[in-house]
Structure 1
């Protein structure tokens, strides 16, 4: 078999594989994208609020135990805020990586 014929067969096979992958991929509606964006936004807000509340609770608990009411409350509330922001940034990075991987999988091959 000639090399050109083999390349044509491989290109045809690659096209058939890409078509089969596209047919198996579930169709996404615009409503699903809005739901995912809203879900991600609530997740990030929840992560921030939980970090602040958890930090404030720990600080209040320490202050109550040793009698220095505002000191540890303020310190741990700020630490909880920082932790919440860090977790939010990690979630945003996770989403960015997932979108990049999805874009790579959706891109047609260059053959």
Structure 2
């Protein structure tokens, strides 16, 4: 599931998306970025939880944020209809933080 989600996120980040539903906010794009990277970090943290090292959450967060950075750069070079946006990168990072924290909290609750 984690690999499939990651591949879908990569593809969705690099193609031109049309007809994305509006949430009725001027921050729709940033909300989508936060949710997408929250899901990415959450899924990977759960996939890697059997390793139970204290460094897994840091690695998950770092790699999710790094993927967001790389995809933002690739949008600029690969698709003329997409562009690099620092605020998207910030939203990606916020999503990665929350996804990692939620997964860590749920994993901690299961150990009790």
TM-score, L = length of structure 1:
0.44
Higher-RCO chain (CA-CA 8 Å, sequence separation at least 6): 2
| Structure having the higher Rg | 1
